[in-house]
Chains A and B, each alone.
Chain A
């Protein structure tokens, strides 16, 4: 019921997103069959809105999934080396096989992302964890190292612009034919929903999961593969959207808890809605110029995140 209202709200935002942009669209001209208006709607606005919905929902789900299987509230693909590793993979492909189809580049990016996440888990295993916050801090250090490597090669190959496009979520370049890979990311996120119970169980810890007959290692691997796949898709199509995978699942968890089956629809809707709202804001604030959605979410996200941490500390005390 309340979920239905949330869907309506996102649908309204989507409708607004269709109408906001540099070139004006008018309903009457669309109805009259104006070719130029239809072209803008079909080639630019619809793809952009769909891209926002798909990227927002799947990145938020990827964040939730990662938090559940790694069992830490403060991780998401951009604080675990996953995003940077995907970027490095894409860079390697751009250098070695620039002509490869984008889906191949994406696949290589996903493999790198999985490798980066694996590296993160490996480091985690060797560090004594005295505090919840150590986990994301280790991830951020690893992210820094991977980022440095990426920057080094990109600088030498004069590809800094390209790397920036991956690391900074920006949808102003989305046109028909340039976003469809996001459907694949959404499909992977859907798998996460179908297998939700397994992931919630895996989140209870290895011993409890094993006791309930779950192959814990395999479920963990599946979960992190989904996260890596979604990340690679988003990085290669629209660029990474920071904080989304962090704040949306945390807010939903506060309200609903972590039973993943129940949380996924809410996380998807809220993620899509938040990204849509931020992108619309970015289009309006300095019109006719645009502020990338990544920047807007960076500001809103970091503030929300700070509040969450402070609130969490208070609850713990």
Chain B
């Protein structure tokens, strides 16, 4: 369980997190939605200790993350930010193997190798394993980063816009992969998503943020409604149900 208590964070004079208190139970996919600048990525970064909050606390399974030892936390929680620029020339396999660092400190055990191969198979990277990252397309690279995160074998996986750089086919494959990971391996996935229809179809919970606050949270059926989406995005959005899923239409 991830809990945040009264998180506040400001950059200069602008408040990006305003008293965020959340409880995310174990298991399932939670999507964080909201307009640009709503504080989604900041929240994800604070929960994963990449940023410190000005005040408030975050705990994972009742353990304060800012007091936990780095490697211990890294075996429990993995995070992938967006915009992962790499100057280093590494092969896909090398990158994914670094996901094992919290477990092995660089000396891969047979179990590590298995986890690495498993993660690469899962993200359909086996054929690319010896390619350098700078020889891959944006989508392939994104998959390699997610594979590294999976190889870390943590209970919690936090992803900031994992569908960035992915075309429709790859975006869907990525979401299905994450769903499988949640179901088969009992992972807890929390991710920032811009595409609210992907959030609607694949999430167990949706958290809606606006101006640094969590203004709504609930199941897709509860959140994907014209009234709530108007509140979140300040625009009129039609919602229709197709095959048991709710879809938002905001293109016209």
Asked whether B48 lies within 8 Å of A259 as measured between CB atoms, the reply is no
Asked whether B106 lies within 8 Å of A261 as measured between CB atoms, the reply is yes
Q: B242 CB to closest chain A CB, in angstroms?
A: 37
Which among B45, B86, B98 is the interface contact of A212 at CB below 8 angstroms? B98
B102 at the interface (CB under 8 A from A): yes
Q: Once the chains are docked, how many angstroms separate the CA of A140 from the CA of B193?
A: 43
Q: Once the chains are docked, how many angstroms separate the CA of A205 from the CA of B73?
A: 18
Asked whether A197 lies within 8 Å of B101 as measured between CB atoms, the reply is yes
A300 at the interface (CB under 8 A from B): no
Asked whether B81 lies within 8 Å of A214 as measured between CB atoms, the reply is no
Q: Once the chains are docked, how many angstroms separate the CA of A215 from the CA of B102?
A: 12
Asked whether A258 lies within 8 Å of B88 as measured between CB atoms, the reply is yes
Interface size class of B (residues with CB under 8 A): 20 to 34
Q: Once the chains are docked, how many angstroms separate the CA of A170 from the CA of B205?
A: 68
Q: Once the chains are docked, how many angstroms separate the CA of A197 from the CA of B100?
A: 11
Which among B87, B90, B152 is the interface contact of A259 at CB below 8 angstroms? B90
Q: Which A residues lie within 8 Å of B45 (CB)? A: 207
Q: Once the chains are docked, how many angstroms separate the CA of A177 from the CA of B32?
A: 66
Q: Which A residues lie within 8 Å of B105 (CB)? A: 197
B50 at the interface (CB under 8 A from A): yes
Q: B220 CB to closest chain A CB, in angstroms?
A: 28
Asked whether B87 lies within 8 Å of A210 as measured between CB atoms, the reply is no
Asked whether B70 lies within 8 Å of A68 as measured between CB atoms, the reply is no
- CB nearest neighbor in B for A198: B106
Given the interface pairs A204-B98, A210-B49, the reply to whether A257 lies near B74 with Cβ below 8 Å is no
Q: Which B residues lie within 8 Å of A198 (CB)? A: 106
Q: Which residues 142-196 in B have Cβ within 8 Å of A in the complex?
A: 149, 152
Asked whether A211 lies within 8 Å of B74 as measured between CB atoms, the reply is yes
Asked whether B90 lies within 8 Å of A258 as measured between CB atoms, the reply is yes
Interface centre among B75, B78, B81, B106 (most CB of A within 10 A): B106
Given the interface pairs A211-B50, A211-B74, the reply to whether A205 lies near B90 with Cβ below 8 Å is no
B124 at the interface (CB under 8 A from A): no
A73 at the interface (CB under 8 A from B): yes
Given the interface pairs A197-B106, A261-B106, the reply to whether A213 lies near B94 with Cβ below 8 Å is no
**Residue ranges of A at the interface with B (Cβ–Cβ < 8 Å):** 68, 71-73, 196-198, 200-201, 203-208, 210-215, 253, 257-259, 261
Besides A68-B88, A212-B152, A258-B88, 9 other CB < 8 A contacts? A197-B101, A204-B88, A205-B84, A206-B50, A211-B79, A211-B80, A211-B149, A213-B71, A214-B70
**Residue ranges of B at the interface with A (Cβ–Cβ < 8 Å):** 45, 48-50, 69-75, 78-81, 84-91, 94, 98-99, 101-102, 105-106, 132, 149, 152
- 3 tightest CB-CB pairs across the interface, nearest first? A213-B74, A197-B106, A213-B71
